[in-house]
Amino acid sequence: MDYEELIINMGPQHPSTHGVLYLELKLDGEIVVDCRPNIGYLHRSIEKIAENRTFVQFMPFTDRLDYLASMNNNLGFCLTMEKLLQIEAPARAQYLRVIMAELNRVASHLFAVSTFAQDLGAYATPLFYALRDREKIVQIFDQICGQRLTYNYMRIGGVSADIPVGVDQLIRDFIIYERQMMAEYDDLLTNNVIFRARSKMIGVLSKESAIDHGVTGPNLRASGFKWDLRKDEPYLMYDQFDFNVPVGKNGDSWDRYNVRMLEIMESLKIIEQALNGLPEGDPVAKINKAYRPTGEIYVRTENPRGELGFYVVGDGNPFPYRLKIRAPSFSNLSVLTSLIRGLNISDAVCVLGSLDVVMGEIDR
Amino acid sequence: MIGFVTSYIPLLLKGLAVLGFIALSAMFLIWLERKISAKIQNRLGPMMTGPHGAFQSVADTVKLLLKENIMPTGADTTIWWLAPFFVTVPAVVAFLCMPFGSHFIVHDLNVGILFICSITSISVIGVFMAGWGSNNKYSLLGGMRSAAQIVSYEVPLLLSVLVVIMESGTLSMQGIVRAQELGWFFLKPNVFIAFVIYLISATAETNRVPFDIPEAESELVAGYHTEYSGMKFAMFFVAEYTNLFIVSAVAATLFLGGWLGPFRPSMFWFLLKAYTIIAFLMWIRWTLPRVRMDQMMGFAWKFLVPVSLVNVLVTGWLLVVKG
């Protein structure tokens, strides 16, 4: 029998392509034969902009990379510049950075798992539950730095402001609250028969394939490879905290979901320890802010979505000669085609949701 | 001549009453769905139009009436225009033998339940026409999924209805209700199983979560009615909620004793039961994720159909043993 492949242009405006991702799907019936992700709809040439801004001025642009984890992006750039300029942030600043980065990781993972559930057809309810919890984090951030999405909180050599009186209690309340709420997510999603049937053994990413494609973060750990920069290349104070690195077994969509759920619990543990050990002192180092670095540096940090790397070349000018960003979502997206080939279109959406890509950092 | 005309007046009034009820019921159900979903999701839902947004559906209807009618280029014009009617008209016709009360029924056909089941099955043709006529790939996929799904779930649905027919010994809707005067059917274990199967199949028939595969938003944007706007979309929408009411009303009639209740008016009991089932289906919709196409088909053919077949056999055996 004669048949043609059906080409579907999924995106850039589609309910489940997470922003402006455009997938060119070739379908045989409903089976995906081939898939080509087209990116670039959110390109803002952030790397080029960096060359025309001073290092301090570039900080707000890092917020706009992975807009769900602005704190972590700030942190990555700060650590890069501190290493290049050989500045040490005060201990209090380091603890505050850990707290903020982990709070943002919780917020980001909440968003990731709930949009994943949304992609599986759980109509908005998990999303609203996650937004309810994320709202508490966002309000904490709002009190700390006056912003709800693009925080611009961290500075080279510290953080922009100490936490206001009473906010540490808010964070403690949030930890208790969120631990209770995780049980709710377990009822709604983790132990849901349909949810399990939809995600188990769908889009199995092998350990080798993950490493070959440069997949990092929860997606890599879900494939069974224990690699977390917070443990393996500790920065800030991470080597002083007691936390586990959750690892998946099969590398399927379910594992990617579950690893994120477990990581939320681990992040809460870190926040608790950091709050208890928060030292007194200045939140920012007293340094000359007219930076004119020379030399090049690459520093990577563990973002909610994987390894975020900043490569900075300074030539003695107040702005970088070149700045390159290694975005985790970009590498994570590269496995999509091989994962969804041969799957049903429903499963393709499920795999895309479980990879949790953010277009802001793919296109930059 | 005058006698001929006057003989049609009661019929006309009945028709208008049915249409009025359908319009009001759909509007109320849309509002109810939005309120229930809001309650589940920690939201308020519509609040601005009238008390607790009671007139939101009215405002929406006015908006949809005023909207431009957009037809995609390359659409199959005739099919595209006819599709909404094929979906809506069967839903309206099914009200012909809906027993609202002890004397409140348009016409008590002696094959009532068969009539309702067969007439509502026609709507799948409309859905498929909409999917094909839109000249949109998402619509086409949605239409094909819908055809497969509705045809599959028709089987367990009818088999579970068959159990009730065997118990009551009649196809007339009023007859089925009167047969339950001694006790509602769902209290019997075999009919209870049929009730559960009926509810599952009815969820699939009305394309609701977890079987909302034809209009899976995260996959197919809006499925077969992606390209429809304005009043045509409203017709699909009204048909969807009317079908929801029909399956719930039929469930109430077949399994929960219909309009039977401790006091009058009998219509109150019928509506109470129907809307309780609707609320239950809405609760499910806003809680569960969606199943996959093959899982859904497998569930229908490998689980629901054998179970309902066995159930029919057991019911027959019980009837024979009891005499």
> How is chain A split into domains, by residue range?
6-37+44-338+345-363
Asked if the Cβ–Cβ distance from A198 to B293 is below 8 Å, we say no
pLDDT over 70 at A232, yes or no: yes
Q: Which structure tokens are listed for B112?
A: 């009532």
Nearest residue in A to B36, CA atom: A125
Q: What SS3 string covers B113-175?
A: HHHHHHHHHCHHHHHHHHHHHCCCHHHHHHHHHHHHHHHHHHHHHHHHHHHHHHHHCCCCHHH
The partner residue sitting opposite A346, judged by closest CB among B37, B286, B293, is B293
Q: Cα B278 from chain centroid?
A: 10
Nearest residue in A to B37, CA atom: A125
CB A255 within 8 A of CB A72: no
The CA–CA distances, whole Å, from B159 to A58, B17, B255 equal 68, 32, 14
Which residue is it, tokens 């709002």?
A: A142
Residue B274's CB is within 10 A of a number of other CB atoms, namely 25
Mean pLDDT of A15-26: 80
Of B216, B223, B228, the C-alpha closest to B84 is: B228
Which residues of A sit within 8 Å Cβ distance of B? 6, 8, 14-16, 30, 117-125, 128-129, 132, 188-189, 192, 194-195, 197-198, 344-347, 349, 353
For residues A33 and A338, what is the distance between their CA atoms, to the nearest angstrom?
A: 10
**Contact residues for A74 (Cβ-Cβ < 8 A; gap 6+):** A59, A62, A63, A151, A152, A153, A154
Chain B residues in contact with A198 by the CB 8 A cut-off are 289-292, 295
The reported pTM is 0.85
Domain that holds residue B113: 75-322
CB A308 within 8 A of CB A327: yes
Asked if the Cβ–Cβ distance from A122 to B289 is below 8 Å, we say yes
Of A195, A196, A275, A280, the C-alpha closest to A241 is: A275
Under 8 Å CB pairs connecting chains A and B tally to 82
The partner residue sitting opposite B293, judged by closest CB among A122, A194, A344, is A344
Nearest residue in B to A128, CA atom: B41
pLDDT over 80 at A18, yes or no: no
For residues A61 and A49, what is the distance between their CA atoms, to the nearest angstrom?
A: 9
Asked if the Cβ–Cβ distance from B221 to A15 is below 8 Å, we say yes
**Contact residues for A282 (Cβ-Cβ < 8 A; gap 6+):** A90, A92, A93, A158
For residues B94 and B116, what is the distance between their CA atoms, to the nearest angstrom?
A: 5
Quick one: which H or E segment has residue A73?
A: helix A70-85
**Contact residues for B11 (Cβ-Cβ < 8 A; gap 6+):** none
CB A325 within 8 A of CB A310: yes
**Contact residues for A148 (Cβ-Cβ < 8 A; gap 6+):** A138, A139, A141, A142
Inform me whether the C-beta atom of residue B302 falls under 8 Å from chain A C-beta atoms: no
Asked if the Cβ–Cβ distance from B290 to A121 is below 8 Å, we say yes
Inform me whether the C-beta atom of residue B141 falls under 8 Å from chain A C-beta atoms: yes
Chain B residues in contact with A197 by the CB 8 A cut-off are 291-292, 295
pLDDT over 70 at A1, yes or no: no
CB A217 within 8 A of CB A332: yes
Quick one: which H or E segment has residue A25?
A: strand A22-28
Of A309, A321, A313, the C-alpha closest to A297 is: A313
- Write down the pLDDT at residue B218: 60
Chain A residues in contact with B292 by the CB 8 A cut-off are 197-198, 344, 346-347
Asked if the Cβ–Cβ distance from B291 to A198 is below 8 Å, we say yes
The partner residue sitting opposite B292, judged by closest CB among A8, A123, A344, is A344
Nearest residue in A to B294, CA atom: A344
- Fold classified for A6-37+44-338+345-363: Cytochrome-c3 Hydrogenase; chain B (1.10.645)
CB B97 within 8 A of CB B249: no
Q: Which structure tokens are listed for B26?
A: 């759909």
Chain A residues in contact with B288 by the CB 8 A cut-off are 122, 192, 194
Q: Cα A139 from chain centroid?
A: 19
Quick one: which H or E segment has residue A302?
A: strand A294-303
Chain B residues in contact with A35 by the CB 8 A cut-off are none
- The conformation of residue A157, written as its DSSP 8-state character, comes to T
CA distance to partner chain A, nearest, from residue B222 (Å)? 10
CA distance to partner chain B, nearest, from residue A151 (Å)? 27
- In a 3-state reduction of DSSP, which class is residue A28? strand
- In a 3-state reduction of DSSP, which class is residue A40? coil
DSSP string, B203-266: HHHTT-TTS-GGG-HHHHTTGGGTT--HHHHHHHHHHHHHHHHHHHHHHHHHHS-TT--SSS-H
CA distance to partner chain A, nearest, from residue B321 (Å)? 39
Asked if the Cβ–Cβ distance from B41 to A129 is below 8 Å, we say yes
| pLDDT one-digit tens code per residue, A51-109 | 888 888 888 888 888 888 888 999 999 899 888 888 888 888 888 889 989 999 999 99
Supply the angle between the helices A91-119 and A125-145 in degrees, to the nearest 10.
160
| Number of structural domains in chain B | 1
**Per-residue confidence in pLDDT tens, chain B, 323 aa:** 677 778 788 778 888 888 888 888 888 888 888 888 888 888 888 888 878 888 888 888 888 888 888 888 877 888 888 888 888 888 888 888 888 877 777 777 888 888 888 888 888 888 888 888 888 888 888 888 888 888 888 889 888 888 888 888 888 888 888 888 777 777 788 888 888 999 888 888 887 777 776 666 666 677 777 778 878 888 888 888 888 889 898 898 888 887 877 777 878 888 888 889 998 988 888 888 888 888 888 888 898 899 999 988 988 888 888 76
CA distance to partner chain A, nearest, from residue B78 (Å)? 24
CB B261 within 8 A of CB B101: no
CA distance to partner chain B, nearest, from residue A128 (Å)? 6
Residue B62's CB is within 10 A of a number of other CB atoms, namely 11
pLDDT over 80 at A230, yes or no: yes
Chain A residues in contact with B37 by the CB 8 A cut-off are 123-125
Phi, psi angle pair for A322, to nearest 5°: -150, 140
Question: What residue type is assigned to position A346 of the chain?
Answer: S
Of all residues in chain A, what percent carry a pLDDT higher than 90?
A: 7
Of A121, A125, A89, the C-alpha closest to A195 is: A121
- Write down the pLDDT at residue A2: 67
Q: Cα A340 from chain centroid?
A: 22
The CA–CA distances, whole Å, from B237 to A175, B28, B264 equal 43, 12, 33
Mutate to test the interface with B, among A120, A199, A257, A350 (most CBs of B within 10 A): A120
Q: What SS3 string covers B172-183?
A: CHHHHHHHCCCC
For residues A7 and A300, what is the distance between their CA atoms, to the nearest angstrom?
A: 39
Phi, psi angle pair for A158, to nearest 5°: 155, -150
Indicate the length of chain B as a whole number: 323
Rounded (5°) CA angle B28-B29-B30: 90
| pLDDT one-digit tens code per residue, A161-218 | 888 888 888 899 999 998 888 888 888 888 888 888 888 888 888 888 889 998 988 9
Of all residues in chain A, what percent carry a pLDDT higher than 70?
A: 99
CA distance to partner chain B, nearest, from residue A142 (Å)? 22
Residue B157 is assigned to a structural domain of this protein: yes
β-strand pairing of A154-155 with A31-38: unpaired
Residue B107 is assigned to a structural domain of this protein: yes
Chain A residues in contact with B295 by the CB 8 A cut-off are 197-198
Residue B289 is assigned to a structural domain of this protein: yes
Chain A residues in contact with B43 by the CB 8 A cut-off are 128
A100: left (phi over 0), alpha (psi -120 to 50) or beta: alpha
